[in-house]
Amino acid sequence: MLTNPKARAWVQIRANALRANFMNVRDRVGSETGILPMVKADAYGLGLEASMRTLEPLGPWGFGVATVSEGVCLRELGFAGRIVVCSPAPRETMATAVQHGLELSISSLDALRALSEVSSRTESKADYHIDVDTGMGRSGFDWGDTSTWLTDATKGAGGARCVGCYTHLHSADVNDDTVEEQWDRFSRVAELIGSKRRADESEFTFHVLNSAGVFRTPEFASSVVRPGIFLYGGEIGDGQPRPQPVVSVHARVALVRSVAPGTTLGYGSTYVSKREERWATLSIGYGDGLPRVLSNRGCAILKGVRVPIIGRISMDVTVVDITEVESAREGDVATLIGSDGSVTRTLDQVAAEAGTISYEVLTGLTSRLPRVWTDEGE
């Protein structure tokens, strides 16, 4: 654990682990398949710039984002490669996307007409990917009704050019059957698209697999895969390979006090001491992204010992019972996610205790927590 002498609490990020997880994906799908790391939501909360600069030397096919503004940020950081916006873009953002050379997702002919109009008006190229709904339901053309859209969607108009086609898997972390079902639906669409394209047309990209799909069904890798949570240390389902831990969360002990039996704690007085106890106030709260639902149920690690969270987590501080850790002092560092000695609290364990998923825990860590990037051995 690397301490940050100036911070009350911080997120530590292991760049070497992020790289290792990327290479694990590459080993799984083979060197001929492109990798499109998803860096949406500020690279799942790790920080877009540092994540991009860590992954770019590894030769990704491009980067995937969820919004036009995220793609623009990548351009402003100097990334000149391919950027795919893997969510529907409001029409008001299309001109900005075209200006910055972003590849948009198209889910309707109305959206395609809007993009074509922007392309013609600005006399600019506008590449796009067809989003096919094979079961996710939130966006995309209907896979079973290609007669109403496929011809127009693939031929483009004006400067708008179709360069790819993809779908979203909805349950790849649960079982193989749903992946196979969605793959079968997508393959039918892909075959129809292939039959309409000329041999002399430019390269066309098909992409389906997310993190879980990469490891459950690598045979469906297509041209490109889109890993996300696995890169950042989140697990991808029972029986699947575990990523190297990338993120840990730490907070300093701001105050240590001894209390008598019957002492109440926190908003609502939801905890009352039953004996003489020692409490430590940690400099982290739900304003930093620590889930409030962990009140009276979660724990931290202090000096290699699990210490329970007691009372309600406040916006800025959290209290733990350190009665069993006699050596604990103000200024010590507690671990909320990660390892201390032989004791570990994984990202997914914390998410499960909070009744949520690793994605939400990571992206919920607020900007109040500095991101401290390290490599192995630092």
From residue 37, give the alpha-carbon distance in Å to each of 163, 186, 209, 362, 367: 18, 21, 11, 16, 22
Residue listed under structure tokens 């430590």: 280
The one catalytic residue in 40, 44, 166, 286 is 40
CB-based contacts of 59: which residues, under 8 Å, 6+ apart? none
For the question of residue 40 being annotated catalytic, the response is: yes
Residue listed under structure tokens 């301490």: 3
Amino acid code (one letter) for 277 = E
* Pairing verdict, β 343-345 and 371-374: unpaired
139 contacts 132 by C-beta, under 8 angstroms: no
CB-based contacts of 44: which residues, under 8 Å, 6+ apart? 38, 228, 229, 231, 232, 234, 359, 362, 363
Q: CA–CA separation, 137 vs 322, rounded Å?
A: 48
From residue 151, give the alpha-carbon distance in Å to each of 114, 157, 185, 205, 207: 17, 11, 17, 17, 20
The one catalytic residue in 125, 155, 196, 267 is 267
Q: Angle, nearest 10°, between helix axes 48-55 and 15-29?
A: 50
211 contacts 185 by C-beta, under 8 angstroms: no
Q: CA–CA separation, 229 vs 134, rounded Å?
A: 22
Full DSSP string of 238-253: TTSPPPPP-EEEEEEE
Q: CA–CA separation, 9 vs 334, rounded Å?
A: 9
259 beta partners: 277
Tokens of 127: 């590449």
Catalytic site residues? 40, 267
